[in-house]
Amino acid sequence: MAERRYLHLNLVANDINLHQGAYGYERAHGIAERSTFERLLEYGRFGDQGLFTALFIGDIPGMQGSPAFDGGPAEPITALTAIAAHTRHVGLIATASTTFYDPYNLARLLASLDQASDGRAGYNAVTSVIDDFALNYSLAQHLDREARYERADEFLDVLRSLWENRELRRDPDGRLRFYAEPINHRGKRFQVTGPLNVAPSRQGRPLIAQAGGSGAGIRVAAKYAEMVFTNSSTRESAAEYRRTLDTALAEAGRAPGSVPAIPGLIPYLGRTAAEAQEKLAELDGYVDWAPIAPFALGQFGIEIPLGDIDAPFPTEALPVPADVEATIKSTFGNYVGLYNWIQQRPGVSVREVVAQAVGRGGATHRKFVGSYDDIVEDFAAWFADGNVGGFNLMFSAGAQSIGEFIDEVVPRLIDRGIYRATPDERPLRERF
Let me know the angle formed at the C-alpha of 156 by 185 and 47, rounded to the nearest 5 degrees. Answer: 140
Residue closer to ligand FMN (CB basis): 51 or 125: 125
- Binding map of ligand FMN across residues 150-189, x = CB under 6 A, - = no contact: ----------------------------------------
- CA 212/CA 25 separation, integer angstroms: 32
| Among the listed residues 11, 79, 121, 126, the single contact to ligand FMN using CB under 6 A | 126
Query: For 66, what's the count of Cα atoms within 13 Å in the CB-facing half-sphere?
Result: 2
Q: How far is the CB of 82 from ligand FMN (least distance, A)?
A: 19
Nearer CB in complex with ligand FMN: 60/309 = 60
Contact 431, 53 (CB under 8 A): yes
* Closest by Cα among 399, 404, 396, 405 to 21: 396
**21 close to 287: Cβ distance less than 8 angstroms:** yes
Q: How far is the CB of 260 from ligand FMN (least distance, A)?
A: 14
Shortest distance (Å) from residue 329 CB to ligand FMN: 7
What secondary structure letter does DSSP report for 65? Answer: S
Q: How far is the CB of 225 from ligand FMN (least distance, A)?
A: 12
129 lines the binding site for ligand FMN (CB under 6 A): yes
Query: Closest approach of Cβ 59 to ligand FMN, in Å?
Result: 5
Nearer to ligand FMN, 104 or 332 (CB): 332
The β-bridge partners of 126 are: 97
Give the contact letters, 200-229, x = binds to ligand FMN (CB under 6 A), - = no: -----------xxxx--x-----------x
> CA nearest 232: which of 81, 93, 387?
387
**Interface residue with ligand FMN, options 117, 127, 201, 232 (CB under 6 A):** 127
Q: Which stretch binds ligand FMN (CB under 6 A): 121-129, 166-174, 289-297, 413-421?
A: 121-129
Nearer to ligand FMN, 146 or 278 (CB): 146
Residues 6+ apart with CB under 8 A from 6: 418, 419, 420
Does 388 help bind ligand FMN (rule: CB under 6 A)? no
Stretch that binds ligand FMN, among 125-133, 195-203, 308-316, 404-412 (CB under 6 A): 125-133
Quick note: the x/- pattern for ligand FMN over 330-349, rule CB under 6 A, is xxx-----------------
Kindly write out the interface string for residues 57-96 of this chain, putting x where it contacts ligand FMN by CB under 6 A and - elsewhere. -xx-----------------------------------x-
Q: Which of 205, 265, 271 is nearest to 230 (CA)?
A: 265
Rounded to the nearest whole angstrom, what is the least distance from the CB of residue 380 to ligand FMN in the complex? 23
- Closest by Cα among 7, 375, 10, 431 to 207: 431
**Quick check: 24 and 18 in contact, CB under 8 A?**
no
* Residue 127 or 203 having the CB closest to ligand FMN: 127
What span, in angstroms and rounded, lies between the C-alpha atoms of 63 and 356?
23
Smallest separation (angstroms) from ligand FMN to the CB of 214 = 3
- Angstrom distance (rounded) from CA 40 to CA 145: 32
Distance CA 72, CA 56 (A): 17
Nearer to ligand FMN, 87 or 95 (CB): 95
Q: Tell whether residue 233 is a contact of ligand FMN (CB under 6 A).
A: no
Q: Which is nearer to ligand FMN, 57 or 350 (CB)?
A: 57
Kindly list the distances between the CA atom of residue 162 and the CA atoms of 30, 159, 278, 283, 396, in Å, as whole numbers in the listed order: 49, 5, 52, 47, 39
Residues 6+ apart with CB under 8 A from 140: 134
Q: How far apart are CA 304 and CA 254, in angstroms?
A: 44
**DSSP string over 263-289:** EEEEEEEESSHHHHHHHHHHHHHTS-H
Residues of the shown chain interacting with ligand FMN in the complex, contacts defined by CB under 6 A: 58-59, 95, 97, 126-129, 145, 211-214, 217, 229-231, 264, 330-332
